[in-house]
Amino acid sequence: MIKPLGSDKLMPLYVADDAKRAALIKEAATLPSILVSSAAAANAVMLGGGYFTPITGYMNVADAMSVAEKMRTTSGQFWPTPILNVVEDASAIKGAKRIALKDPNVAGNPVIAIQDVKAVETFTDAQMKTMTKAVFGTEDMDHVGVKTFNTVGKTCISGPIQVLNFSYFPKEFPGTFRTAVQIREEMGKLGWEKVVAFQTRNPMHLAHEELCRMAYNDVKADGILIHMLLGKLKKGDIPADVRDKCIRKMVELYFPPNTVLITGYGFDMLYAGPREAVLHACFRQNCGCTHLIVGRDHAGVGDYYGPFDAQTIFDNISKKDLQIDIYRADHTAYSKKLGKVVMMNRVEGHTKEDFVLLSGTKVREMLGQGIKPPKEFSRPEVAEILITYYRSLGK
């Protein structure tokens, strides 16, 4: 199986030993504590599960700036996005060398991790602008990711962490949430070595399904990892539990047994386009995948990124830094001429009218009215689940 990023083995920061974890939970009750942002809690979950190997904790200002500007820490480790614990006010932990981090996403705010504080620094306005522009490609506060990044504070608490739990994800998504450690174990049991990963924050329609099948066949893979984001999304996105039902139904009915693993990860969407595509590649390599499907406007939002920016960013990334291969996909759609879903740039003699093309807005309108999209766009069983969801919104 492919090696993790920058390491011979995964480096999960979750304290798996029950006795050690119990002792740390007891210690946490005696430590100065701080309520972290949802993004910082999600970073803890990803660090805990080994997804962010070889990163060992939250970055300091120097590393964050270096990563933003060069996609490399000050020590030279390749990494595409800052991994931060930033807050508005750190006065509650002033002078502390060891602190408890409280989870904002679980009732009662239990401690999610213990952090050794190496530094407490403040990003300047200029540094925040530089980071924002480098990571998101824009400083526009109408960009949902930019707004989130710039409204949680500028005080940076850096240092290694010990993760005590995986927040709400195991409880709310027991059959789907998996750490990178667990995914590697499951793929190992299946005997998979060449694995295609598909990232999704949306339900999968027929074109997505066929794209996974195309990649699987083209690279002669042993299996497909459908890996869905389970964390915070922007308003209007389909909730994770609904997506989960849709994807499970699709795989159950339309894929051969033991060719697909349906899993999810506990991270909040950044909507950072190209940089987030690279981040996705990093943690899919850590999962053990050899290929990641990157389609048009991968991890994008609005019109902030070009349709293939998330593919061309990989042109300048060395195989020494990132071993996973990128399966570059164009728009996929049903061809009326050929009677099947195709990658649009692979077929000749087609005009726009020869494809079944529906906008997301149009599909949502249809589903909201209880109308199933055409079978050339969506599996009827998947559409039924989505119609039930949209009907529930109208109550």
Which CATH number characterizes residue 204's domain?
A: 3.40.50.620
* 327 located within any domain: yes
Q: What are the residues whose beta carbons fall under 8 Å from the beta carbon of 169, sequence distance 6 or more?
A: 45, 177, 230, 231, 264, 266
Show which of 167, 201, 228 is a domain's final residue: 167
Q: Which helix (H) or strand (E) holds 101?
A: strand 98-102
193 plus 95 within the same structural domain: no
177 plus 302 within the same structural domain: yes
Looking at residue 158, what is its pLDDT?
98
The phi and psi torsions of 72 (rounded to 5 degrees) equal: -155, 135
The dihedral region occupied by 202, where left means phi > 0, alpha psi between -120 and 50, and beta the remainder, is beta
Pull the structure tokens for residue 195: 């694995």
360 plus 231 within the same structural domain: yes
Looking at residue 308, what is its pLDDT?
94
* 5 located within any domain: no
* 11 located within any domain: no
- The yes-or-no verdict on residue 175 having pLDDT over 60 is yes
At 257, the pLDDT band (50, 70, 90 cuts) reads: very high
179 plus 145 within the same structural domain: no
- With a pLDDT cut of 90, the percent of the chain lying above it is 89
At 387, the pLDDT band (50, 70, 90 cuts) reads: very high
181 plus 154 within the same structural domain: no
At 364, the pLDDT band (50, 70, 90 cuts) reads: confident
205 plus 290 within the same structural domain: yes
Residue ranges making up the domain that contains 68: 18-167
Between residues 360 and 63, which one has the greater pLDDT?
63
* 349 located within any domain: yes
* 378 located within any domain: yes
Active site members: 201-202
* 63 located within any domain: yes
What CA–CA distances, in Å, run from 9 to 6, 48, 50, 57, 76?
9, 14, 10, 17, 19
154 plus 184 within the same structural domain: no
234 plus 298 within the same structural domain: yes
Between 125-136 and 274-287, two packed helices, what is the crossing angle to 10 degrees?
70
Show which of 113, 138, 167 is a domain's final residue: 167
What CA–CA distances, in Å, run from 137 to 64, 134, 200, 233, 329?
16, 6, 21, 19, 22
Write the pLDDT tens digit of every residue in 265-307: 999 999 999 999 999 999 999 999 999 999 988 999 999 999 9
212 plus 257 within the same structural domain: yes
Write the pLDDT tens digit of every residue in 62-109: 999 999 999 999 999 999 999 999 999 999 999 999 999 999 999 999
107 plus 185 within the same structural domain: no
Distance CA 173, CA 164 (A): 18
Show which of 120, 151, 167 is a domain's final residue: 167
Please state the domain count of the chain: 2
Rounded to an integer, what is the distance from CA 184 to the centroid of its chain?
A: 17
Distance CA 134, CA 138 (A): 8
What CA–CA distances, in Å, run from 304 to 11, 143, 299?
34, 8, 11
Between residues 254 and 238, which one has the greater pLDDT?
254
Q: Among 135-139, 312-316, 391-395, which stretch is predicted with the lowest mean pLDDT?
A: 391-395
Global pTM reads 0.95
Which CATH number characterizes residue 146's domain?
A: 3.10.400.10
* 7 located within any domain: no
For residues 121 and 156, is the Cβ–Cβ distance under 8 A? yes
Looking at residue 234, what is its pLDDT?
81
* 12 located within any domain: no
Mean of all residue pLDDT scores within the chain: 95
Looking at residue 393, what is its pLDDT?
86
309 plus 210 within the same structural domain: yes
221 plus 362 within the same structural domain: yes
- The yes-or-no verdict on residue 395 having pLDDT over 70 is no
Distance CA 47, CA 167 (A): 12
Write the pLDDT tens digit of every residue in 325-340: 999 999 899 999 999 9
- With a pLDDT cut of 70, the percent of the chain lying above it is 100
